[in-house]
Amino acid sequence: MEDGYRQMYNLDFEGAHRTFEQWQREHPADPLGPVSDAAAYLFGEFDRLHILQSQFFVNDDSFRGMKKPAADPVVKQRFESDLAKGRQLADDILRRSPNDKDATFASVLRMGLHADYLSLIEERNLQALAEMKTGRALAEKLLAMDPHYYDAYLAVGVENYMLSLKPAPARWVLRMTGARTDKEEGIQKLTLTAQNGHYLQPFARLLLAVANLRDKKVEAARQLLSGLAREFPRNHLYAQELAKLR
């Protein structure tokens, strides 16, 4: 599983799929297998569509003027099939053992991936927000059981940080719906995953680099991107953004 995530962050998506498929053959009841395979499909689309560059590394006005390429319908079908399989496997476990931490985390990750697809690729922000809030609440339940399940902090951090970037009236409305919009809490939770996380640690480090760039903390962003570029040399995103800073 660890190998598959490293392949994914290094943009070797075919290798990641093979690794996750092998894991599923060897562990057919583990919901994290198909959910992780879904993550490889999502990050593959992020790379093909330049989602991370356009959404995170340009200012919001520039992004609104960009033409968005279309998503791949075949990838979407495979992504949703993986999510459905992961949901069924996790639900089977949680019916028998409601406090199973790994099955709960697989559900949190599934909801986060689906919210990312809805928001960043399809721009269905209301549906994404509902999924994000449900995933965050489940992550908080998991963290109440085990505060050291550091990957789960990402779900709390992403909701707080990303929604904190909205204009003040929008944040007020979001809070009225139960969403979390605390920027400092978001960064704190992202930092916990970036420092101590497992599968999601590199993604948390990337999001922290984005946060630092938006806050004009260029040196902190440079250090995070330099570490990612060394660790994942085939990922052109890290090198490209680092070159801009130089």
Contact status, residue 88 vs residue 30, Cβ threshold 8 Å: no
Contact status, residue 63 vs residue 55, Cβ threshold 8 Å: yes
Confidence of residue 181 (pLDDT cuts 50, 70, 90): low
CA distance 238 to 208: 13
Confidence of residue 78 (pLDDT cuts 50, 70, 90): very high
CA distance 23 to 19: 6
CA-CA distances (angstroms) from residue 88 to 19, 23, 77, 96, 106? 21, 17, 17, 13, 11
Tell me the fold of 2-245: 1.25.40
* Report field, pTM of the whole predicted structure over 0.95: no
pLDDT per residue over 19-71, tens digit each?
Answer: 999 999 999 999 999 999 999 999 999 999 988 875 665 554 444 445 567 88
Of 71-85, 119-133, 155-169, which one has max mean pLDDT?
71-85
The structural domains of the chain, with segments of one domain joined by +, span 2-245
DSSP 36-87: HHHHHHHHHHHHHHTHHHHHHSS-HHHHHTSPPPPPPHHHHHHHHHHHHHHH
